[in-house]
Amino acid sequence: MANTDTSIKQAAIYKFSAEDGQFKRQTSQFRSYVSADPTAEFPAEAGRYVLYLNYGCPWAHRVNIVRSLKGLENVIQLVAMDHILTPNGWTYTGRDGTDPQDPLHGFKYLRDLYLKADPNYNARFTVPVLWDKKKSTIVNNESSEIIRMLYFAFDAFIAPHLREQNRPGGGLYPEHLRQDIDAMNDWVYNTVNNGVYKVGFASTQAAYDANIYPLFKSLDRLEEHLADRAHQPYLFGPHITEADVRLFVTLIRFDVAYYNIFKCNLKMIRHDYPRLHLWLRRLYWDEGPETNGGAFKNTTWF
């Protein structure tokens, strides 16, 4: 007979929807920032911080893309876990290029890292995680905030041409496009990035119906957005921005995972959205300076 406590924990870790059948995403709890200011609580230093991730997670993937776009591979250490989810969080197995154990602490589960940072932590053990080796704690586990740290905080440690002030178009989050990028991020996050999970983890027909149609309405909107010559070849013109990074991690998984596993199957990207498909292929296959040698392709693990 199965241990009752273990069974309850396993049921909880895989239960993603609320009583009304709607998927509810957990709010990240570690929200500090790394800063270029040497007097900050978490000052930028080469070799001090570690990015923990799972190659299958889109939220972690967008941080990994930015790490590569910025040339931070030798500045921020990467630790990769397997895609197997357990009641103790993501696991280390050494399969498919992942680490056999946490190289810093010898842990076998992500859970142990969270509890090292906060012994009273009582929520899901999510990725990505940005860890500070000096203070032995989690700096941040919210991907949208981590990527923005990486834009600017570590520029002193990378090649001049990769620093935001020297990047064509003003970098990944240029001032003249911030309002437009933030506006797109808002509806793309709610209906596409998180929308596929609202569909896939819906546990009632009503919850599924409430989210499947807004998802495809937004994909239609993105297809139309790319019809404007000012929004080519990338979402806001000739250079990659944060908006491209955030959308890519969902669409690269769409036909191969969300369409079938999550039943987001009214349309496919490669068959029904020609402009989005071209945009997606361009980002994936490009290995030139715009992607810093293939940041999108090199961080994508099918």
Which residues are identified as catalytic? Answer: 57
- Enter the tokens of residue 29: 């709890």
**Cα-based distances in Å from 101 to 67, 115, 258:** 22, 16, 29
CB atoms within 10 A of CB 46: 13
CA distance 252 to 283: 10
How far apart CA 231 and CA 138 sit, in angstroms, is 37
Q: Report d(CA 24, CA 2) in Å as an integer.
A: 28
Q: Give 200's DSSP letter.
A: H
Q: How far apart are CA 130 and CA 146, in angstroms?
A: 8
Cβ burial of 187 (10 Å; 0-12, 13-18, 19+) is middle
8 A C-beta contact, residue 151 and residue 158 = no
Residue type, 133: K
